[in-house]
Structure 1
Amino acid sequence: MEFRFQRRIRLAPGVRLNTTRLRPGLSLGPPGISLLIRRDGEGESLPVDLEITASGEIRYRHADGTRMTMAEAREVRRCAEGELREALGAHCEALNAQLDRLPRLHEQAPAPDATGYHPRSYPEPPPTPMAETRPAWWQSLWAPARLRHHRENAQREAQHAAAYRAWEWRKAEFDAREFQRQQREDEASWDDPDAMQQTLVERLEELAWPRETLIDFELVDDCRTIAVDIDLPGPEEMPDRRWSMPAKRIKLSPHRLTVTRQRQLYRDYLHGVAFRVLGAAFARLPRIELALVSGYRCLNDPAAEGGERRYLFSVKVTRAQWQGLAFDDLPGLDPGEALAGFALRREMTRGGELCAITPFEPDWRWR
């Protein structure tokens, strides 16, 4: 099947843009941890990588990736039990927090009146001036030493001046980009399709995407309508367990979610993705009057271009309808119910599974 729309962006954690269609490989267990373990009576620290299996067991590896022997792993646990438990406990909380964020993606959607752009301040502080050192008494008495000390101070001053000039260039380039972005969002995003596209990409990048998200979109109807297709993960790609830390063992314990909870989490995630894309479109593109957002799964090789698509939902929203939502209480809003208040194509079985639907097509007769 050919792509319905021509423009494409790929968003992911640590966002990158790409024109290819790739999915990262899935590991069986949660991400691992890298630590520096202090040895008893020694000043050096031992780098240790903790690999966490799907069952929560810990495998100890050296920094180069080689597996530790059983004796080495026991020594690590003996020397650093407290550090290990603290690190694993924090990691467990982080994994559960990621799971808890999945059904709350809609809370990041901007209100429709949040237009315009406020330039950011350059985040890098200027280089710290190097204090001039005073010569020792003997350097003051010996001319060669006094001259060498003077040269060292002059060299440090020159290094600081060079570092400061480089910082000023970076700051000037950053400020120029911020000014251009402000001009683009305040003025060009009203009627320039390229500026509108860049604005949408930048705004979507700023959101925290917990999973890779591939988006196709097109501006039509004299840039008054935006049509968006979202490549969705399958239910098997979603987290299916919570984690806890046993009281007496250095490991994590997985607790599998019920099938009902997994399906609910999946639906909330899909609706949340659609909600935040709608929010970005209406808030950042003031010319847009109608948005069509559809979500699909690729049924064959996800790395193949033009694969067959199975659409799971399609929603049509006008700006007036979107402005009627309660954006002052997004945590209390159910994104699935909110989307059901618009023109929505979505079919579910009694068990809560989403069925295939026919998505909306851009239609200029709506006005």
Structure 2
Amino acid sequence: MEDLLAETMDDLDWPRETLVDYEIQPDAATVWLDVDLPEIGDLPQREARMAKRRRRLLVKDKPKTRLRREYAQHVHGIVLRTAGTVFATLPGVQRVVLSGYSQRLDPATGVVNDDYLLSVDFDRDGFARIDFDALERVDPVAAVAAFPHRRRLLKRDGFRAIEPFAMAGALD
């Protein structure tokens, strides 16, 4: 199972560097994943559009709120894709507990830390209720919110660090 999952995860193509570590529980019913998410700075920071007379291209910085919204969509999409890949690859798995972290600067110390941004406890039955034939209608942020999760997503500030689910204290 571990070899199959490793091969499948290695074959995934991501738009930004996304690293996945995992552990399959001895009963093979639960997989725990740690996902090293891209940083918000890895997303395009600027946008381009044509001027009114269509003679030149205007390039400007994206508004911070829009950039944070795009980052949240991207991160939640990674979480859903990764959990779905585990469920599709390992049919005996009934639960995926996924925690995502990113490297962020602590302004108080000047040190870059691995901060967990979200942690989600997916169950196979709940995940199967997502309409995969109409993914354009699925909001990744809302889809993740339908499962037990830990995240502090603020409109003005984006993600705040959280304490992820741990194997000993996970939901049963």
Range into which the TM-score falls when normalised by the shorter chain:
0.7 to 0.9
Q: Specify the alignment match of 2:144 in structure 1.
A: 339
Q: Specify the alignment match of 1:120 in structure 2.
A: none
Q: Is the 8 A contact 1:213 1:230 kept in 2?
A: yes
Larger CA Rg, structure 1 vs 2: 1
Q: Is the 8 A contact 1:221 1:364 kept in 2?
A: no
Pair 1:222-2:30 in alignment: no
What TM-score does the superposition give when structure 1 sets the normalisation length? 0.41
Q: Specify the alignment match of 1:235 in structure 2.
A: 40
Task: Determine what percentage of the aligned residue pairs are the same residue.
Answer: 35
| Structure 2 SS opposite 1:239 | coil
Q: Specify the alignment match of 2:163 in structure 1.
A: 358
Distance 1:264 1:365 in 2: 28
Q: Specify the alignment match of 2:92 in structure 1.
A: 287
Distance 2:48 2:84 in 1: 32
Root-mean-square deviation (Å): 2.4
Which protein is richer in helix relative to its size? Answer: 1
Q: Specify the alignment match of 1:71 in structure 2.
A: none
Gaps of 5+ in 1: 1-195, 301-306
Mark the CA change 1:358 to 1:348 in structure 2 (over 3 Å): closer, same or farther: same
One-letter code aligned to 1:285: L
Q: Is the 8 A contact 2:46 2:59 kept in 1?
A: yes
Distance 2:141 2:102 in 1: 18
One-letter code aligned to 1:314: S
Gaps of 5+ in 2: 106-111
Runs of 4+ residues over 4 Å off in structure 1? 244-249, 363-367
Which protein is richer in strand relative to its size? Answer: 2
Mark the CA change 1:364 to 1:261 in structure 2 (over 3 Å): closer, same or farther: closer
| Structure 2 SS opposite 1:337 | helix
| Structure 1 SS opposite 2:48 | strand
Q: CA deviation at 1:241?
A: 1.7
| Structure 1 SS opposite 2:69 | helix
Q: CA deviation at 1:359?
A: 0.2
Pair 1:201-2:24 in alignment: no
Pair 1:316-2:121 in alignment: yes
Q: Is the 8 A contact 2:9 2:20 kept in 1?
A: no
One-letter code aligned to 1:243: A
Which residue among 73, 90, 99 is the counterpart of 1:268? 73
One-letter code aligned to 2:114: R
